[in-house]
Each structure stands twice: as C-alpha cells, then as structure tokens.
Amino acid sequence: MRRLSTQDQNFQQQFAELLAFETVNDPELLKTVDQIIADVRAKGDVHVLALTQQFDRHPATTFSQLELTQAQLQHAFDDLSDDVRQALELAANRIREFHQAQKQDGWTYVDALGNTLGQKVTPLDRVGIYVPGGLASYPSSVLMNAIPAHVAGVPEIIMVVPAPNGELNPLVLAAAYLAGVSRVFTIGGAQAVAALAYGTATIPQVDKITGPGNRFVAAAKRAVFGQVGIDMIAGPSEILVYAEGENNAEWLAMDLLSQAEHDTVAQAIFITPDQDLLEAVAEKIESHLADLPKAEIAKTSIANRGALVLVKDRAEAIQLINQVAPEHLELCLDEAEAMSAEIRHAGAIFMGRYTPEAIGDYCAGPNHVLPTSGTARFSSPLGVYDFQKRSSLIMCSEQGVKTLAKTADTLAQQENLDAHARSARYRYQS
C-alpha cells in the first residue's frame, strides 16, 4: 500500500496526484443520452417501455406493468424477517428524527420604516428519486433520499428503480413502503431521468431528481439540470481516517476497507503522526484483503487510490484534511471534538473511536448522500433543505415605501433603467 510522508521532498506533488480524479466527459455518451432524452420527450411511455425492454430485458408488454402498487410495497415489507424489519425501522426512525431538526421555517420582521420583510419556506410539489437496480440496489439509499423529502413535506415522491430481467430486491420495496414513497416505476437509465424531468402520459413530471446512478444517469441528470433541480453528481466514495494515541489497528483497517469494497476507484486514506500505528494498520489491511468477499474490488481500490500518510503532528493533518475536503472523515483520538472545530470541509465527521463510518451509512441518522471529490468545499449532505425552497416577502406601507422608492429611483437612473425609476417615483410623489 502506498506510503507518503509530509517530510518527503515532493510530498505536495504526490499528494495532489493521489487526489486527482477527473470524470471524462465522453462525447459519445453525451450524444446517446441527449438522443434518449429527445426521444422520450417526443414519444413518451411507448419509448420508455421499449428502452426498458431493450436495456433491462424487462418482460413487461404494457407500460402499466412497469408500475408497482402500494400493496406490492407493503407485501415486501410484511415479508421481512423480524431482525431485518426491526433494523430497517430503527434506521428509518433515526433518519427521520435527525432530518426533522433540519426543517426550516419562514420568518418576517418589520423594519424601522414600517415595512414588512421576510422569507417564506415551502416544500417542493413533487420529486423523483433514482434508485440503482441490480448489484448496487441499496435499501439504505431509498431511506436516505425519500425520508428528507417526506420530512420536508413533499406531497408526492416518485421512485424509479430498474428491474433487470424484471427482478427486484424486495428490501428496496420494503424501504420505499417505510419511507413514504408515493409511486414506484421499475424503469432506470437516462430514459427514467428524462421521463421524470419532462413527464409522460403515465409518469408525472417532477420538480427535482435526486439519487445516485451509473454514468448514463449522471449524464442525463446534468442534461436536465435547469428543467428540474438535481442533487450533486456523485463521484466515487471516499474515506479519510485520522488517528493518534491509543487505537485498535484492526478497527481502523476495516473502516478503511469498508469504503474500498464499494468500488475499484473508491479512495481510502489513513493519516497519522504515529509510525507504528501506520504500519499496524497497513498490516491489518493486507491480512483482511485476503478474506473479504469483495477482496478483488477492495484490492484494486487500495492499490490504485489508497494511501497511508505520515504527518509531523495534528496541525499538519488538519491542513491536509481541509485540502482533501473528504466525503467521510473519521477522527479517532481523545480530542476529536476539539479537532473537528478546525475542520472546514468534510461531508460527515465521525468522532471518537466508537463511531465507524458504516453506522453513518445506515442508521446513525444523518444522511449518507454526501459531497464527494472535494465538493464538500462548497456543498452539503443531502437534506431536508434540498426539498424546500424559499420565496422573499416584501410589503411596504404607504409611508414606509417613500425612502425606499426615492433610493430606488436614484439608483435606477444610474443604471439607465427609466421604467424602474418611474415605477418607484410614483410611490413617493403620490
């Protein structure tokens, strides 16, 4: 496994190379996706059905067979074993509790002139949630996307999930039932994104689309951005673990591997000022790489994108962490809370030795949809705020408007906008 030290002559260059990851915009892919979107807009349901038969080998012969009933969702939920149902319920309840704290309310105030100003907060009318099918079909993703929308008060939550060969993960349907999803269509790919963005005879047009997907889905989301809102385009998953003092090297190694098993391009970085701990973690990673079911994926991820970084001290680590702006950050030390105050950029911060990243993926409460590839510099975890929007409120009184109208008149004249100036002037010369 790659070892770096901040004492290396060319450390900054090596570290920058480690972080470099650029998604290539394949022009052929973009052309294909643009064509799918245009065709779905022109032909609607018929085309979505045809592509679903073609790409997903779905046995449906009519479009209505692509919609699941609430009874089917409930059936999937009722069929769960006790331990799985309890785990799913505990996760859903905790996610709901955390996200309720994010809900924002409107406010107004009256200024010194007697004018009322404020901000109104409303939920979106209808949102679409993309859930990947096949191997990466995760019930936890259903909870993490649908519950914030539900807490925000979105009346209609439309879920799409491809069903290769007509097959579905029942746990995904159970999660949809639990999370309050309104309707489920078993479609996927760019055609599902296009159908949600523009609507078809059967699929209602939504206002925002969230959720992860393959490169066709990512390209389609980027293409419909503006027509509808989207969440971030997700890159590969990452974890950065910082540890100092007494630590269990085996725990740390497994936390790093829990990201590495996601994807061959996932990134696991370990930072410590403790050379012995660094070597102990390296050894545990090697030994577990032998016996993990997803060893092949994890090995490639660790070999190509993983790193063990030796730093002089905590201050140097803080600097590197803020440079990375990691999706997941574990701070495994006694002073984890104090150190977290120095972290400016991270999707989620897991503090102390008893907070493995994996519990954040499922049931800690905060969202597991987090900014990747350094985008924590400017973006946030998926949250209730993604399903609410604001309107400004302004109400002037007959007296209160005079000062403002005079000011607007003066400035509008400077900008050569005469109708603006006159419109304001009417209110103070009246």
Distance between CA atoms of 214 and 294, rounded to whole angstroms?
Answer: 20
Cα–Cα distance between 243 and 88 in angstroms, integer?
31
- Binding residues for its own copies restricted to 310-329, rule: CB under 8 A: none
Q: Is 357 exposed, middle or buried (0-12, 13-18, 19+ CB in 10 A)?
A: buried
The least CB distance from residue 351 to its own copies, in Å, is 4
Q: Which of 91, 243, 269, 310 binds its own copies (CB under 8 A)?
A: 91
Residue 169, marked binder: no
Which residue type is seen at 399?
Q
Q: Give the per-residue contact string, 394-413, with its own copies (x = CB under 8 A; - = no).
A: xxxxx-xx-xxxxxx-xxx-
Pick from 73, 124, 193, 302 the residue near its own copies by CB under 8 A. Answer: 124
Report, in Å, the least distance between residue 361 CB and its own copies. 6
Q: 80 or 310: whose CB is closer to its own copies? A: 80
Minimum CB separation of residue 367 from its own copies in Å reads 7
Alpha-carbon distance of 100 to 149, in angstroms, equals 11
Work out how close the CB of 256 gets to its own copies at its nearest, in angstroms, rounded to a whole number.
Answer: 9
Confirm or reject binding of residue 380 to its own copies (CB under 8 A).
Answer: yes
Q: Is 328 a catalytic residue?
A: yes
Kindly state whether residue 348 participates in binding its own copies, applying the rule CB under 8 A.
Answer: yes
The conformation of residue 64, written as its DSSP 8-state character, comes to G
Which CB atom, from 195 or from 348, has the smaller least distance to its own copies?
A: 348
Which of the residues 49 through 68 are near its own copies (CB under 8 A)?
none
Rounded Cα gap, residues 417 and 64, in angstroms: 54
User: 45-56 and 189-198 helices cross at what angle (nearest 10)?
Assistant: 160
Q: Which stretch binds its own copies (CB under 8 A): 46-54, 66-74, 118-126, 271-279?
A: 118-126
Footprint of its own copies on residues 230-289 (CB under 8 A)?
Answer: 232-233, 248, 250-251, 254-255, 257-258, 260-262, 288
The Cβ of residue 378 has, within 10 Å, a number of other Cβ atoms equal to 10
CA distance 30 to 47: 19
Strand 328-332 and strand 3-5: pairing?
unpaired
Ligand-binding annotation for 214, yes or no, is yes
Q: Contact with its own copies (CB under 8 A): which of 26, 286, 334, 337?
A: 337
191 is in an annotated binding site: yes
Active-site hit among 244, 327, 330, 357: 327
Tell me how far apart the alpha carbons of residues 216 and 140 are, in angstroms, rounded to a whole number.
22
Place of tokens 């006790």: 82
Tokens of 199: 């609507």
Size of the site for its own copies (CB under 8 A): 125
**Does residue 148 belong to the site contacting its own copies (CB under 8 A)?**
no
Interatomic CA distance for residues 220 and 64, integer angstroms: 24
Supply the residues annotated as catalytic: 327-328
